[in-house]
Structure 1
Amino acid sequence: MALGDVTVFLTFGPVSVMFAFLGQAGRISFTSLLYAIPLVLHIIGILHANNTRDMDSDKKANIFTVAILLGRTGSYLVFTILIFLPYLMLFQCV
Protein backbone atom coordinates (compact mmCIF):
# COMPACT_ATOMS: atom_id res chain seq x y z
CA MET A 1 0.00 0.00 0.00
CA ALA A 2 3.10 2.26 0.00
CA LEU A 3 2.40 3.52 3.52
CA GLY A 4 5.76 2.54 5.02
CA ASP A 5 7.29 5.95 4.33
CA VAL A 6 4.38 7.72 6.01
CA THR A 7 4.50 5.40 9.02
CA VAL A 8 8.24 5.85 9.47
CA PHE A 9 7.89 9.62 8.99
CA LEU A 10 5.30 9.88 11.75
CA THR A 11 6.99 7.44 14.11
CA PHE A 12 10.55 8.73 13.90
CA GLY A 13 9.58 12.36 13.42
CA PRO A 14 6.73 14.09 15.20
CA VAL A 15 5.71 11.28 17.55
CA SER A 16 9.15 10.50 18.94
CA VAL A 17 10.18 14.15 19.22
CA MET A 18 6.93 15.17 20.91
CA PHE A 19 7.14 12.39 23.49
CA ALA A 20 10.84 13.02 24.11
CA PHE A 21 10.15 16.71 24.66
CA LEU A 22 7.16 15.92 26.87
CA GLY A 23 9.27 13.54 28.96
CA GLN A 24 12.06 16.05 29.45
CA ALA A 25 10.17 19.34 29.72
CA GLY A 26 6.89 18.12 31.15
CA ARG A 27 4.87 19.99 28.55
CA ILE A 28 4.09 19.82 24.84
CA SER A 29 5.64 22.33 22.43
CA PHE A 30 4.82 22.29 18.75
CA THR A 31 7.95 24.33 18.08
CA SER A 32 9.98 21.20 18.78
CA LEU A 33 8.45 19.64 15.68
CA LEU A 34 10.45 22.05 13.52
CA TYR A 35 13.61 20.36 14.75
CA ALA A 36 12.26 16.94 13.85
CA ILE A 37 11.69 17.68 10.17
CA PRO A 38 15.34 17.73 8.96
CA LEU A 39 16.15 14.60 10.95
CA VAL A 40 13.16 12.65 9.70
CA LEU A 41 13.82 13.67 6.08
CA HIS A 42 17.22 11.99 6.27
CA ILE A 43 15.66 8.90 7.85
CA ILE A 44 13.05 8.72 5.07
CA GLY A 45 15.88 9.17 2.55
CA ILE A 46 17.63 6.09 3.91
CA LEU A 47 14.39 4.09 3.83
CA HIS A 48 13.70 5.26 0.29
CA ALA A 49 17.21 4.27 -0.84
CA ASN A 50 16.69 0.77 0.58
CA ASN A 51 13.30 0.50 -1.10
CA THR A 52 14.82 1.61 -4.42
CA ARG A 53 17.56 -0.99 -4.08
CA ASP A 54 15.02 -3.75 -3.40
CA MET A 55 12.61 -2.61 -6.11
CA ASP A 56 12.89 -5.71 -8.31
CA SER A 57 12.46 -8.25 -5.53
CA ASP A 58 9.57 -6.24 -4.04
CA LYS A 59 7.77 -6.26 -7.39
CA LYS A 60 8.08 -10.06 -7.56
CA ALA A 61 6.69 -10.35 -4.02
CA ASN A 62 3.77 -8.00 -4.87
CA ILE A 63 4.94 -5.40 -2.36
CA PHE A 64 4.14 -1.80 -3.25
CA THR A 65 6.44 0.98 -2.10
CA VAL A 66 6.78 4.62 -3.07
CA ALA A 67 9.95 3.69 -4.98
CA ILE A 68 8.04 1.21 -7.12
CA LEU A 69 5.28 3.73 -7.81
CA LEU A 70 7.78 6.41 -8.86
CA GLY A 71 10.15 4.24 -10.90
CA ARG A 72 13.94 4.52 -10.91
CA THR A 73 14.19 8.10 -12.19
CA GLY A 74 11.48 9.41 -9.88
CA SER A 75 13.01 7.55 -6.94
CA TYR A 76 16.40 9.09 -7.63
CA LEU A 77 14.84 12.56 -7.74
CA VAL A 78 12.93 12.01 -4.47
CA PHE A 79 16.05 10.61 -2.78
CA THR A 80 18.05 13.66 -3.84
CA ILE A 81 15.37 15.97 -2.46
CA LEU A 82 15.17 14.04 0.82
CA ILE A 83 18.92 14.24 1.36
CA PHE A 84 19.53 17.87 0.37
CA LEU A 85 16.33 19.55 1.59
CA PRO A 86 17.37 19.51 5.29
CA TYR A 87 20.52 21.45 4.43
CA LEU A 88 18.52 24.00 2.45
CA MET A 89 16.16 24.33 5.41
CA LEU A 90 19.17 25.05 7.62
CA PHE A 91 20.28 27.90 5.39
CA GLN A 92 16.77 29.37 5.53
CA CYS A 93 16.90 29.43 9.34
CA VAL A 94 20.30 31.11 9.59
Structure 2
Amino acid sequence: MSEGSGKLKENQPGKYYVDQDCIGCMLCSEIAPDNFRSTVDIDCEVEYNFVYKQPSTKQEEDLCEESMDVCPVGAIVDNGKGAR
Protein backbone atom coordinates (compact mmCIF):
# COMPACT_ATOMS: atom_id res chain seq x y z
CA MET A 1 0.00 0.00 0.00
CA SER A 2 1.24 3.48 -0.80
CA GLU A 3 2.14 5.66 2.13
CA GLY A 4 1.04 9.29 2.24
CA SER A 5 -0.42 9.51 -1.24
CA GLY A 6 -3.80 11.09 -1.77
CA LYS A 7 -6.92 9.41 -3.02
CA LEU A 8 -7.84 10.50 -6.54
CA LYS A 9 -11.05 12.54 -6.68
CA GLU A 10 -12.57 10.42 -9.46
CA ASN A 11 -12.82 7.32 -7.25
CA GLN A 12 -16.30 6.21 -6.27
CA PRO A 13 -16.80 6.13 -2.48
CA GLY A 14 -16.29 2.75 -0.86
CA LYS A 15 -13.78 0.10 0.05
CA TYR A 16 -11.32 0.47 -2.84
CA TYR A 17 -9.59 3.52 -4.24
CA VAL A 18 -6.65 4.44 -6.45
CA ASP A 19 -4.14 6.94 -5.11
CA GLN A 20 -1.84 9.48 -6.74
CA ASP A 21 0.96 6.94 -7.20
CA CYS A 22 -0.93 5.45 -10.18
CA ILE A 23 1.17 5.41 -13.36
CA GLY A 24 -1.71 4.61 -15.72
CA CYS A 25 -0.47 1.16 -16.74
CA MET A 26 -4.10 0.01 -17.15
CA LEU A 27 -3.58 -3.44 -15.61
CA CYS A 28 -6.50 -2.86 -13.25
CA SER A 29 -8.87 -1.84 -16.04
CA GLU A 30 -7.83 -4.90 -18.04
CA ILE A 31 -8.43 -7.24 -15.08
CA ALA A 32 -11.59 -5.58 -13.74
CA PRO A 33 -13.03 -3.46 -16.58
CA ASP A 34 -16.39 -3.03 -14.83
CA ASN A 35 -14.69 -1.43 -11.83
CA PHE A 36 -11.73 0.60 -13.11
CA ARG A 37 -11.54 3.32 -15.77
CA SER A 38 -8.74 5.48 -17.15
CA THR A 39 -8.39 9.22 -17.58
CA VAL A 40 -6.71 10.53 -20.70
CA ASP A 41 -4.94 13.79 -21.43
CA ILE A 42 -5.35 16.07 -24.42
CA ASP A 43 -3.09 13.79 -26.49
CA CYS A 44 -5.25 10.75 -25.62
CA GLU A 45 -2.48 9.34 -23.41
CA VAL A 46 -3.61 7.54 -20.26
CA GLU A 47 -2.86 9.66 -17.19
CA TYR A 48 -4.13 7.39 -14.42
CA ASN A 49 -6.85 4.92 -13.46
CA PHE A 50 -9.56 5.21 -10.83
CA VAL A 51 -12.36 3.15 -9.26
CA TYR A 52 -15.32 3.76 -11.52
CA LYS A 53 -17.64 1.37 -9.64
CA GLN A 54 -17.17 -0.39 -6.32
CA PRO A 55 -17.50 -4.19 -6.54
CA SER A 56 -21.03 -5.48 -6.01
CA THR A 57 -20.48 -9.22 -6.51
CA LYS A 58 -18.00 -11.79 -5.23
CA GLN A 59 -16.50 -12.03 -8.72
CA GLU A 60 -15.98 -8.26 -8.92
CA GLU A 61 -14.50 -8.27 -5.41
CA ASP A 62 -12.04 -11.00 -6.43
CA LEU A 63 -11.05 -9.07 -9.57
CA CYS A 64 -10.50 -5.87 -7.58
CA GLU A 65 -8.30 -7.78 -5.13
CA GLU A 66 -6.35 -9.28 -8.04
CA SER A 67 -5.91 -5.80 -9.52
CA MET A 68 -4.62 -4.55 -6.19
CA ASP A 69 -2.18 -7.47 -5.92
CA VAL A 70 -0.66 -6.93 -9.38
CA CYS A 71 -0.51 -3.12 -9.35
CA PRO A 72 3.19 -2.40 -10.01
CA VAL A 73 3.25 0.69 -7.79
CA GLY A 74 0.75 -0.33 -5.09
CA ALA A 75 -1.64 2.48 -6.01
CA ILE A 76 -4.85 0.48 -5.43
CA VAL A 77 -5.89 0.62 -1.80
CA ASP A 78 -8.40 -1.45 0.18
CA ASN A 79 -9.38 0.75 3.10
CA GLY A 80 -11.40 -2.09 4.61
CA LYS A 81 -14.57 -0.01 4.74
CA GLY A 82 -17.76 -0.40 2.76
CA ALA A 83 -19.62 2.40 1.00
CA ARG A 84 -20.64 5.33 3.15
TM-score strictly above 0.5? no
Identify the structure with the greater helix proportion. 1
Q: TM-score, normalised by structure 2?
A: 0.33
Structure with greater Cα Rg: 1
* Higher RCO by CA contacts (8 Å cutoff, separation 6 or greater): 2
**TM-score, with structure 1 as normaliser:** 0.30
